Amino acid sequence: MGAQQRVFRRKIRSVQSTKKITKAMEMISSSRIVKAQKRIEQTQPYVQQLFAALSAAASHATGVEKHPLTAKHRLRHRALYLVITADRGLAGAYSINAIKEGQALTRFLKEDWNFKEVIPYVVGRKGAGFFRFREQEVGGEWTGFSDQPDFEHAKEIADTLLERFLERTEDGGADEIQIIYTHFVNMGTQEVRVRRILPLQVQIEEVDTSASNLAAEGHEDDKPIFPLYDFEPSADAVLDELLPKYVETAVYGALLMSAASEHAARRRACKSASDNAEELIKTYVRLANQARQAEITQEISEIVGGADALSHSGS
């Protein structure tokens, strides 16, 4: 075997090893996407019921507009955003797209909303490495669970954000908190979205469900009837308990969506890498065959030339 053939054979073995890795990761991501989708579906009923209970409590509570988590009239001094990225690579542009959206949000909040300071909070090693390399300030970072988050991780993040939000602005507190995550639409489409989680916007049911009002209307079937709630100890106390839980649920939902999107992005990227590896192997095999044919042709030419020289010397 000639030198060129050895080079091509070595390259073929190297690409084949890479293909085995990307193929295995593609299969792992495919199986984990299904599990991630199930976890998202399992949380939806809880989110719906929590939002319904939150709306009911807000409808009966006093001074909802002045609650620390729902007050609209706040200063615009300091904003925070939580960006969710991946812990591992081989996921295409999944992490960098979320980071770019965070950079765009920073410019928007400073230029259009006149925030003086915007501080990022990061989930995932890719995002943490991005800000660390550029020596940018980060309020907090969490790593090691981006592809398989659980509620304890979400609660830790939500508690940190809530604590910063409830502080006075003069003491370093935040006036607004956004979350940047990748929304899982389907296996082929994932979208980076920005959602404001604090201050909260609570839907209030402003419908008079009293019997006298329904009778006066004369068309009971046309009026939506909401259930009557009895709050213990009070609607305000219930609201105080539900609002932090809603923030935790919002963070948890974003983590689950991002995890499913990460698996989908990694599956797509690994499939593309496997396909490219297959094409590269075919190219190297063709070049190796051409080198082998050239060597054979050269050997035949040398044999024929030697035989011809021997025949001439003998004559």
Distance CA 49, CA 43 (A): 10
Task: Report the domain count for the chain.
Answer: 1
Distance CA 126, CA 109 (A): 23
The answer to the question of residue 275 being in a domain is no
The answer to the question of residue 274 being in a domain is no
The answer to the question of residue 308 being in a domain is no
Distance CA 229, CA 236 (A): 13
The pLDDT tens digits of the residues spanning 157-214 come to 999 999 999 898 888 889 999 999 999 998 889 999 999 998 887 666 554 444 444 3
The answer to the question of residue 108 being in a domain is yes
In sequence order, the β-bridge partners of residue 123 are 84, 142
Grouping H, G, I as helix, E, B as strand and the rest as coil, residue 10 is helix
Q: Pick the residue with more confidence: 252 or 238?
A: 252
**Domain with 139 in it: what CATH number?**
3.40.1380.10
Which of 72-81, 127-136, 244-253 has the lowest average pLDDT?
A: 72-81
- The yes-or-no verdict on residue 226 having pLDDT over 70 is no
Matching residue, tokens 């979208």: 191
How large is the average pLDDT for residues 96-114?
95
The pLDDT tens digits of the residues spanning 73-86 come to 567 889 999 999 99
* Per-residue pLDDT at 202: 66
Q: 3-state SS string over 226-282?
A: CCCCCCCCCHHHHHHHHHHHHHHHHHHHHHHHHHHHHHHHHHHHHHHHHHHHHHHHH
The answer to the question of residue 298 being in a domain is no
- The yes-or-no verdict on residue 229 having pLDDT over 80 is no
- Reported for 154-159, long-range contacts at CB under 8 A and 24+ positions apart, including other chains, are 154/248, 154/249, 154/251, 154/252, 154/255, 155/248, 155/252, 157/82, 157/121, 157/123, 157/251, 158/244, 158/247, 158/248, 158/250, 158/251, 158/252, 159/248
Which residues span the domain enclosing 75? Answer: 35-205+226-265
